[in-house]
């Protein structure tokens, strides 16, 4: 696939405007599906439909999956169910076909499947649609090379040639028994070095790593990362081979999860794109902004009760941003480390106590250094014993609290089966800000009372 120059892209746009079918078809045939999808982004829906009808089935199927969800929905709404079946579904791997079908309502799914001429493929898609989207079963594909453990190598090679014709890439050869239970994996090297073995079970790699159909997709990601796999077989509760998940599907899932976590940490309540409507973007942003506003009102209520103390010592309010900002930063750092531990399964594997101990030690060191630096600053520039003591003690206390709070909140969310990434965003910042102000005012009041008594 060639990479087009800017001049060639402009030439293609001109051909599209002129509806020069032959020239457009010739140029599209030389482009990668991802580059074609970018061309589609710059054109109207009418031009996009025109271009789709010039692509061959395989290219059209690849391009539709490169589009974002909203653009894909716009295209599908302009095509008939029969066109969707013949142009896309028939030319897709089953996992991609299922992903596409999940974006449609059940009535349209049934209508499209009725137009799929390959009954076996339609049946496989129906089977895959039964699994939840966030599970291994919902992400797997049916296309794979499978041989029987009792076959001779010549028979296996013949069967592998036949099955491989339906695949774009061949990663592993899976070996099953007569009940279709997964028994092993046959490396290509052993196919070459053992051309006449009587039964492949004698040379296969036994007990391959596999994943259950109902296991969460996070487990799939962890297994592929941990064992450096390019594909992982999916089995049912009794070990029968149901499908395979390839690394490209996992990469897509990882990207989507990272985008989701980043948006949650930024205070977005739903998945949004820059191309989404104003209403959708507002709905995603507004909830946390309103919660942040309520947090600010709560802060003003807390501080409003100490007007007389501020009037007596006008230097105290100058350190309010320092207290709140430090607590928020520490909380986000702590929660981010815990979320990472939950994601890579290190905490679930017995690392909880080690994590808590280390986090406490780090917070004690950080709290001591920060409070000491502020104390030295106040000693030379403020020279007020109340400010020197209250700010330093408050910072020490806030850093400890924020660290503990930031550690436990994602653990609690995980126990409640909620996304722990929510803990790395505004929730931690707002809560730590409120608690930080309360601690600051409480310590300052106690010091004032003590000094007045003395």
Which pLDDT tens digit goes with each residue over 379-395?
888 878 888 888 999 99
Decide which of 3.10.580.10, 3.40.190.10, 3.40.640.10, 3.40.50.12170 is the CATH code for 145-255: 3.10.580.10
Taking the domains of the chain in order of start, what are their residue ranges?
Answer: 6-129, 145-255, 278-453
Determine the 3-state secondary structure of 89 from DSSP: helix
Determine the 3-state secondary structure of 313 from DSSP: coil
Q: Is the pLDDT score of 136 beyond 80?
A: yes
Q: Where are the beta strands (DSSP E) in 109-226?
A: 145-148, 173-176, 182-185, 205-206, 211-212
Question: For residue 426, how many other CB atoms are within 10 A of its CB?
Answer: 22
Say whether 278-453 and 145-255 share the same fold.
no
Q: Is the pLDDT score of 46 beyond 70?
A: yes
Cα-to-chain-centroid distance, residue 243: 22
What pLDDT, on the 0 to 100 scale, is given for residue 209? 94
Question: What's the CATH fold of domain 6-129?
Answer: MgtE N-terminal fold (1.25.60)
The predicted model gives 229-244 an average pLDDT of 94
Length reported for the chain: 454
The answer to whether 303 touches 320, Cβ cutoff 8 Å, is yes
Torsion sign (Cα): 8, 12, 14, 15: positive
Give per-residue burial for 186-208: e unless 16+ CB within 10 Å, then b.
beeebbeeeeebeebbebbeeeb
Retrieve residue 434's tokens: 């409120």
Q: Is the pLDDT score of 111 beyond 90?
A: yes
pTM of the model: 0.67
What pLDDT, on the 0 to 100 scale, is given for residue 454? 43
Yes or no: domain 278-453 corresponds to CATH 2.40.10.120: no
The predicted model gives 215-225 an average pLDDT of 88
Cα gap 331→429, rounded to integer Å: 7
pLDDT digits (tens, 9 = 90+) for 27-40: 888 888 888 888 88
């Amino acid at each position: 696939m060639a990479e087009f120059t800017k001049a060639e892209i402009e030439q293609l746009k001109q051909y599209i405007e002129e509806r020069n079918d032959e020239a457009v078809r010739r140029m599209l045939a030389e482009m990668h599906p991802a580059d074609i999808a970018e061309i589609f982004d710059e054109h109207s829906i009418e031009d996009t439909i025109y271009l789709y009808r010039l692509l061959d089935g395989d290219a059209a199927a690849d391009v539709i999956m490169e589009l974002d969800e909203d653009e894909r929905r716009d295209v599908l709404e302009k095509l008939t169910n029969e066109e969707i079946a013949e142009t896309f579904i028939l030319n897709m791997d089953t996992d991609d076909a299922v992903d596409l079908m999940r974006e449609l309502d059940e009535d349209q799914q049934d209508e499209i499947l009725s137009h799929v001429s390959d009954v076996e493929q339609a049946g496989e898609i129906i089977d895959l649609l039964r699994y939840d989207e966030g599970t291994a079963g919902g992400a797997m594909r049916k296309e794979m090379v499978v041989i029987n453990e009792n076959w001779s190598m010549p028979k296996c090679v013949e069967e592998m040639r036949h099955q491989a014709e339906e695949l774009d890439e061949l990663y592993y050869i899976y070996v099953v028994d007569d009940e279709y239970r997964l028994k092993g994996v046959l490396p290509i090297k052993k196919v070459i070095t053992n051309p006449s073995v009587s039964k492949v079970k004698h040379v296969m790699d036994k007990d391959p790593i596999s994943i259950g159909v109902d296991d969460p997709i996070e487990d799939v990601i962890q297994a592929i990362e941990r064992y450096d796999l390019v594909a992982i077989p999916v089995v049912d509760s009794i070990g029968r081979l149901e499908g395979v998940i390839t690394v490209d599907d996992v990469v897509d899932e990882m990207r989507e999860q990272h985008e989701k976590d980043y948006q949650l940490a930024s205070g977005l309540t739903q998945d949004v794109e820059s191309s989404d409507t104003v209403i959708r973007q507002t709905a995603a942003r507004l909830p946390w902004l309103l919660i942040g506003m309520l947090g600010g009102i709560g802060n003003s209520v807390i501080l409003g009760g100490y007007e007389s103390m501020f009037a007596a010592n006008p230097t105290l309010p100058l350190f309010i941003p320092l207290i709140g900002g430090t607590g928020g930063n520490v909380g986000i750092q702590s929660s981010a480390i815990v979320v990472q531990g939950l994601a890579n399964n290190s905490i679930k594997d017995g690392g909880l106590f080690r994590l808590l101990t280390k986090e406490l030690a780090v917070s004690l060191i950080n709290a001591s250094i920060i409070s000491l630096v502020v104390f030295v600053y106040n000693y030379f520039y403020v020279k007020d014993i109340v400010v020197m003591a209250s700010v330093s003690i408050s910072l020490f206390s806030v850093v400890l609290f924020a660290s503990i709070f930031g550690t436990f909140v994602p653990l609690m969310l995980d126990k409640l089966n909620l996304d722990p990434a929510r803990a790395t965003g505004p929730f931690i910042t707002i809560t730590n800000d409120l608690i930080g102000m309360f601690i600051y005012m409480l310590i300052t009041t106690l010091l004032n009372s003590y000094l007045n008594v003395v």
